[in-house]
Structure 1
């Protein structure tokens, strides 16, 4: 008789033992699937954290021009970057915020009236620390984004906007300090700086209310000419990539002195726990695989001992020993396949609550050190929270089921072949006459 057919008859004849074997296989497959789902969820969440939280690297130094910042920002490790170029200028028909204390020699005349505003050229206002950490808040419109590089737009402080009745869509006419160049700017956003004005007299361009953020190209047109950047911030995926970016910065900026500061606190606070959960999930998969093989091996071994008489009679009838081992392998494998299906159904039900319990979502949790702009997805250019809502969500996919099925069948093979080696050393006479 074909040993595959005999395996089916044996499973039907031993319904109780088949049910026990099925239960053990379901538990093993479910735990394996849970480990794969958790590991996949941690990988997705880690990748998302690298894109949104990442590591901020601040580069400062003489000779750091907007062109060099663009070249450094084109590195494959950089997700976002933001050069900062500042200048002092004024705006025609725009009244600057004034200090509460009268200034020496009369405030608001001469050069002071021509340089009353602090224009700060940026590429991505969302990478500025005050916006990134939520100190500055956009109250209307949006921030400066990389798409604004060729546009004449402005992000105005709330006090300056209130004094001049500005709102989004209005036009302000900025002019350089020497009065030779003018640039019409469209207000695309209004932000609030919580810092209060100094108690003593302060030059207008140093007052927080007179700050205007514009694209870098606009500051180059308003400024006195070519100038070095105040700083440039680059967001990379992980602290390990900082060394590569440092080598690239040294190549572009030469051997001269430049500051290279790495801020990875938010990354470590958010990503390191995710990586530990992922490592734990991988360890769980290995432990379950080994433990499952051992448990199933013991069960099969007990079944072989109980069926010694059957084995002896089959061998006496001329059955091949490898076919007896193949019969037990088919029996265990036939139970493992429906166990995978049951595990998939259980995984669909339990995957999301388990994943939510073990994983925190950086886009929504907002722990200390996290960037609120990344969490809220405001106008600073960060990804919306809705786009990240399912990052940590676990879901059963064909790849996960394929891995579980492969490992399950591998466990079945190991758990039957290893105990079945003893069959190869026995003879029909010794099996039938052995009383044990």
Structure 2
């Protein structure tokens, strides 16, 4: 009789053992598939963190210009850049946010004015990148705003002056010689901005900070700094070398701020590492458990094996029969695991990192992909082969006479 057909008859005849093996295979395949799905979700989240958060490298140097910052932005690995220039301004005919304490007699009213920040991309500011500040009306400032007279103002300053998106305000230079009208294109809220109780100069209050595109302000001189967005901390070395060659040592300073990146990526990597350890643990435990079941099955079927050997059956066919039995049970277990993965992926996703109110990234989602199912199938079938091949080595040492005459 063909050993494949004999394997099928054996599975039908031993329904209890077949159901037991199917149950073990199903648990193993579900856990393996879950581990692979979790690894995939964390890998996608880490890639998203690299794109959305990345690492900020800040370059400062004496005489740093916007043209030099633009040249450094072409360094491989740099995704975005943001030259920054800070200065003062006057806001005629508008009120400024002030502290609750009365103005001291010796204060200088001529210093009253907003802090003006010229930039290229407001979303690259650390407060916006980490979610502490966010645009609540209108839009942020982008590189497309270069050369345009537009501003981004705080929610407190807007409410105090009855301003909203689309309104216009006037800014003048501190000496009053330069004047310009600017359109409000966005209003932002800073969750950490608090009006101090003690007296503070209005220019030092965060709510009086106004952002505008670099080059359209009443500001002169070199940049205060330039911030470059990189995909990972490892890419900062190339930018550091390029900046040093271009700017020299005069006042040169290079700082890498990867806190936001690490805060988001490290939990993802820990979950991914846990998923990898889970896959290895399940693979090892599944192999051992199934190997024990097959070993017990072979021990119980010694008489059957001895009879087949005495009739001239090849030993490799007996090993093949047990392998076919294991694979025949593994295939439906894989199919059931795929159905379970499809049904449970959505509900389980809600427990993954990112499903919180203050999450910076889109939440992680489990998606059943053909590659994940293929890896599960390959590893599951590998477990089936190992679990039958190792105990099957004992079959190769069997002799019909010793089996049939054994009285134990």
- Name the TM-score, length of structure 2 as normaliser: 0.84
- Contact kept, 8 Å, 1:139 with 1:192, in 2: the verdict is yes
Aligned equivalents of 1:409, 1:90: Cα separation in 2: 74
Aligned equivalents of 1:105, 1:125: Cα separation in 2: 32
Of 405, 412, 434, which aligns to 2:384?
412
2:214 aligned residue: 216
Alignment of 1:280-295 (within 5 A): 280-295=274-289
Structure 2: unaligned runs, 5 residues or longer: none
Aligned equivalents of 1:106, 1:287: Cα separation in 2: 70
- Contact kept, 8 Å, 2:58 with 2:254, in 1: the verdict is yes
2:46 aligned residue: 46
1:229 aligned residue: 223
- Contact kept, 8 Å, 2:83 with 2:225, in 1: the verdict is yes
CA apart distance, 1:406: 0.6
2:356 aligned residue: 364
**SS of structure 2 residue aligned to 1:187:** strand
- More deviation in 75-84 or 277-286? 75-84
Aligned equivalents of 1:201, 1:397: Cα separation in 2: 58
Q: After superposition, give the CA deviation of every residue in 1:192-245 in whole Å (9 maximum; x if it has no partner).
A: 67454897795x8667666431111323xx444xx3211222333333444344
1:152 aligned residue: 149
**SS of structure 2 residue aligned to 1:217:** coil
1:434 aligned residue: 406
Aligned equivalents of 1:84, 1:188: Cα separation in 2: 19
1:21 aligned residue: 21
2:336 aligned residue: 342
- Contact kept, 8 Å, 1:96 with 1:117, in 2: the verdict is no
CA apart distance, 1:338: 0.4
Q: CA RMSD in A?
A: 3.5
Aligned equivalents of 1:105, 1:356: Cα separation in 2: 55
Aligned equivalents of 2:206, 2:271: Cα separation in 1: 44
- Contact kept, 8 Å, 1:55 with 1:237, in 2: the verdict is yes
Alignment of 1:207-286 (within 5 A): 211-219=209-217, 222-224=218-220, 227-286=221-280
Q: After superposition, give the CA deviation of every residue in 1:85-120 in whole Å (9 maximum; x if it has no partner).
A: 2344567x7557498859999966xxx8xx966432
In structure 2, do the counterparts of structure 1 residues 191 and 353 end up closer, same or farther at CA, with 3 Å as the change threshold? closer
- Contact kept, 8 Å, 2:38 with 2:272, in 1: the verdict is yes
**Number of equivalences:** 403
Aligned equivalents of 2:250, 2:46: Cα separation in 1: 36
- Contact kept, 8 Å, 1:94 with 1:164, in 2: the verdict is no
In structure 2, do the counterparts of structure 1 residues 105 and 404 end up closer, same or farther at CA, with 3 Å as the change threshold? closer
1:370 aligned residue: none
The answer to whether structure 1 residue 125 and structure 2 residue 122 are counterparts is yes
Q: After superposition, give the CA deviation of every residue in 1:353-389 in whole Å (9 maximum; x if it has no partner).
A: 44543x321x7343xxxxxxx74xxxxxxxxx7xx1x
In structure 2, do the counterparts of structure 1 residues 413 and 164 end up closer, same or farther at CA, with 3 Å as the change threshold? closer
Aligned equivalents of 1:169, 1:24: Cα separation in 2: 65
- Contact kept, 8 Å, 2:130 with 2:260, in 1: the verdict is no
The answer to whether structure 1 residue 331 and structure 2 residue 333 are counterparts is no
In structure 2, do the counterparts of structure 1 residues 89 and 9 end up closer, same or farther at CA, with 3 Å as the change threshold? same
The answer to whether structure 1 residue 185 and structure 2 residue 182 are counterparts is yes
1:382 aligned residue: none
CA apart distance, 1:413: 0.9
- Contact kept, 8 Å, 2:53 with 2:129, in 1: the verdict is no
Aligned equivalents of 2:198, 2:295: Cα separation in 1: 86
- Contact kept, 8 Å, 1:56 with 1:233, in 2: the verdict is yes
Structure 1: unaligned runs, 5 residues or longer: 367-373, 376-384
Aligned equivalents of 1:20, 1:201: Cα separation in 2: 75
Q: After superposition, give the CA deviation of every residue in 1:42-62 in whole Å (9 maximum; x if it has no partner).
A: 212222233334333322222
- Name the TM-score, length of structure 1 as normaliser: 0.79
In structure 2, do the counterparts of structure 1 residues 435 and 147 end up closer, same or farther at CA, with 3 Å as the change threshold? farther
Alignment of 1:157-168 (within 5 A): 157=154, 166-168=163-165
Aligned equivalents of 1:409, 1:208: Cα separation in 2: 62
